[in-house]
Amino acid sequence: MKTSGRHRDSPSLNHSAERGEEGGPDEAVAFIAETVAELVKLAERHRLEVLGHLLGMAQLEAEERLRTRSKHKLS
């Protein structure tokens, strides 16, 4: 009987990684920063000022975490 196992190169796993479901905190923060940046643009395009502002704050926080994590790795 043949069992169906997932391989590392399977499309569903690659798609999961693109959505930030694979990897550690660094990959998650990078994914969040990138995704929130797109959402900020969308909110601004539709003049959703408060939502754009809140998303912008989330983007700044994610980018700051990326910077501080990369500084810690260098030391």
**Number of domain units in the chain:** 1
Domain for residue 12, yes or no? Answer: no
Overall average pLDDT of the 58-62 stretch: 97
**Host domain of residue 28:** 22-74
Domain for residue 17, yes or no? Answer: no
6-48 pLDDT, tens digit per residue, is 444 434 445 555 665 679 999 999 999 999 999 999 999 999 9
Six-digit token pair at 35?
């995704």
Domain for residue 38, yes or no? Answer: yes
Six-digit token pair at 71?
């500084």
| 59 within 8 A of 30, measured Cβ to Cβ | no
Domain for residue 39, yes or no? Answer: yes
What pLDDT is stored for residue 35 in this prediction? 98
Domain for residue 3, yes or no? Answer: no
What pLDDT is stored for residue 67 in this prediction? 94
Q: What angle do CA 49, 29, 11 make, to 5 degrees?
A: 105
48-58 pLDDT, tens digit per residue, is 999 999 999 99
Does residue 4 surpass a pLDDT of 50? no
